[in-house]
Structure 1
Amino acid sequence: MPTSTTPPEARPSTTPRDAASVDAAAPLPVPPSAVHPILADAPSTTDPWPPLLAALAEELVALPHETAPGVAESRLRDLHRRAAAVVDAQPDAALYWLILRAGHEVAGYSDRHAWLCWWVAREAHARLGGSDHQGEALALAALTMNCTLRALQDRLAEHDGPPSVAEQARIDTHAVAAAHTLAAAGVHDELWLAIVRHHHDEAPDALPLMRLPPAAAAARLLRRVDRFAAALACRADRPPLSPVLAARTACVGPDGTTDEIGHAMIGALGLYPPGSPVRLANGERGVVIARGLRANLPRVAVLADAQGQPLAQPVSRDTADPAHAVTGSLDPDLSPLPLTVPHAQLLRLR
């Protein structure tokens, strides 16, 4: 992205872990069970992604509040860089787990939201172009934009009902509060702070992206990413949108058409993001396990045949084949997938 158009929470832990140090070859715990059966897993798995993502979340939760002034910025940058090294090795697997859990688990909302925004913002920025510093500032803003709201976000996600007047006031002012909190903790990167401060500012939306200064352009991108992640999240007071609908909604600009940011997000996510339950042209049902060469051609793991009967083993489908083309998002209430989904096995089919 040209310089003039740069686009742009986690459970407490007293012993933060280096996510990159998790041994992917060692037996790892089964992901927590969830309300929706798609998250039910086999009795054991060696898939590293749930514990890797949990380790990243444990480190994020203590920052920036529980570090000495002047230390938060370096620790957050280090966390971002280590997370990037882990996730960039298998981005589709990481996105699969982030999207799947967002749509099927209520507890820990703020953790997943921060990391999902981080993932999508980085990928969209790469497609829009920009410097490494600009991309890092955006990624760090995604991780920290809600740093003053984590406990409140988690509580509201788990309880049915609107926020109180005082809670709504905190929500309405959290962008500025987060920027102040980060600055007080020793963050000096003005671009990072400006993106956080303005990530809910809709005033510049009337201007073309090319005419915005770097911080405003980045804030616009982050606001759209934030909208996508919030829409597909499971909450006690409402069901989530499917990943497909959430992605398409977020890709539309103020004028109702797909703009530069929308195209970048489609490129980042695909039209059928990993973790999306889908139906194929031949009636088979499955889950998207990886993005494809084109946005509408993801890699799908089929779990059930056209009659809805579970397959003995999941089968990988190339959706470029017309017989296996994706025809739409699957409504799990009308066409449920099998009760047990062997996620680690699915991801190996990529």
Structure 2
Amino acid sequence: MKSDATQVPPMTQDLDRIPLNEVRDLLHIGHKLPFRVLDAQARLLLNEGHVLLNEAQFDSLVERGAWAERSQVEAERVARAAGRTPPAAPPPSLFDRWDRLLWDFDKLSRAPPRSAALGHAVTAFFAQLQALVERDADVALFLALRHDDQRFALYPLTHAMHCALVAVLTARQLGWPAPRIASVGCAALTMNWSMFDLQATMAEQDTPPTARQLKLIRAHPEAAVELLRAGGVTDDEWLTAVAQHHEHPGGTGYPHALTDVSEAAQVLRAADVYMAKVSARATRPAMAPQQASRELFQQRTGDAVAMALIRAVGVHPPGSLVQLRSGEVAVAIHRPATGTQPIVATLSDSAGHPCAQTYRRDTA
């Protein structure tokens, strides 16, 4: 008989969990978390040291059934009793604004599924996302490619936002007018609206999809369209892009094996595939952006959408690691105005030793 000695009984697991609303006195807006926060399925939501941005974020965490580990909470209470005060966080950065937007999207995604105001809410949210992209697209790309915390519970949200980013940059590269860019951006945010929970599960699932999961996957484009129509969305380009974002022009896609696929759906599919490749799962690491671009080019040689995406994000997009001729390892931080050689920040010296200080390099 197989021993259960290594398994923690459910009752013990419950006793080790302290709901987040019971430790509110230890948490302060604008300060770093003194312990990590997990969701009801014990998936990481926020790491220790992450800044608590606002009350809305705290409320979203509570709604997700967030909790902290008893040992960490008790240790923090002992430290507070000894007179330790939590260190204040630095002023909010552009990175913090993106994180705040993520939690706003979390709240939006958990609104009533058939809310009549859904379309307006998504459109308003996209306007905020687009404003951050316009402020600094390189920061947005950096965040999309550098995943320091593998927060699989939030993968559906981050994937949707990053696909919207890539779709917007691709559409701009194609010369689309603002209304079409907004349509494809909103479509990227909502293409998987009907299967966010399934996406979170599968991001850390170490077994092949079940028959039930495959059925939900194949049905999700039309299910999402149904939810969007019920939510007041009437934009044909938005709805068509969502309905067709898994169709292939050659007729090998799903759910209807179409041969005539809208351009917006092709942009959506390219962004979806690219971001899926460069994002880690529990069972595989993230693919290097250079390899993801190479595969996209090889699979869609001569395709205008694929070429526009590669030009838009760059061969070495911000967040990607590169090795310089000097032997230094660096991370790309800015796309070049022309050409393919990025601006980078060094991470190691020529011998491969970590740098105490980073140096900016123009690799052109």
User: Which letter does structure 2 place at the counterpart of 1:294?
Assistant: T
Note the residue ranges of structure 1 that are not aligned, 5 or more in a row. Answer: 1-22, 207-211, 321-350
Check the 8 A contact 1:285/1:304 in 2, yes or no: yes
Check the 8 A contact 1:103/1:232 in 2, yes or no: no
**Paired residue for 1:52?**
97
**Of 152, 167, 175, which residue of structure 1 is paired with 2:221?**
175
User: Which letter does structure 2 place at the counterpart of 1:121?
Assistant: A
Q: Deviations over 1:108-150 (max 9, x none)?
A: 2111111110111001101112222111110000000000111
**Paired residue for 1:298?**
342
Structure-to-structure mapping, 1:122-201, within 5 angstroms: 122-201=168-247
With normalisation by structure 1, the TM-score equals 0.73
CA distance in 1, matches of 2:275, 2:353: 32
CA distance in 1, matches of 2:170, 2:192: 20
With normalisation by structure 2, the TM-score equals 0.70
1:154 Cα shift?
A: 0.7
**Paired residue for 2:256?**
none
CA distance in 2, matches of 1:162, 1:253: 24
CA distance in 2, matches of 1:201, 1:239: 26
CA distance in 2, matches of 1:95, 1:197: 26
User: Which letter does structure 2 place at the counterpart of 1:202?
Assistant: H
Q: Deviations over 1:21-69 (max 9, x none)?
A: xx9xx77779x8999xxxx99x965562443223222222344662574
CA distance in 1, matches of 2:108, 2:244: 20
**Of 70, 73, 85, which residue of structure 1 is paired with 2:119?**
73
Structure-to-structure mapping, 1:1-20, within 5 angstroms: none
- The structure whose RCO (Cα within 8 Å, separation 6+) is larger is 1
CA radius of gyration, larger in: 2
Question: Structure 1 residues 246 and 60 mapped into 2: Cα distance closer, same or farther (>3 Å)?
Answer: same
Structure-to-structure mapping, 1:308-327, within 5 angstroms: 308-320=352-364
CA distance in 2, matches of 1:69, 1:119: 25
CA distance in 1, matches of 2:295, 2:362: 26
1:175 Cα shift?
A: 0.7
User: Aligned pair count?
Assistant: 283
CA distance in 1, matches of 2:92, 2:203: 27
SS at structure 1 position matched to 2:347? strand
**Paired residue for 1:97?**
143
Note the residue ranges of structure 2 that are not aligned, 5 or more in a row. Answer: 1-28, 38-42, 51-86, 253-258
1:96 Cα shift?
A: 0.4
> Root-mean-square deviation (CA), in Å?
3.1
CA distance in 1, matches of 2:148, 2:268: 18
SS at structure 2 position matched to 1:88? helix
**Paired residue for 2:154?**
108
Check the 8 A contact 2:314/2:340 in 1, yes or no: yes
CA distance in 1, matches of 2:148, 2:234: 32
**Paired residue for 2:55?**
none
Check the 8 A contact 1:121/1:225 in 2, yes or no: yes
* Residue 333 of structure 2 is aligned to residue 289 of structure 1: yes
Work out the percentage of aligned pairs sharing the same amino acid: 31
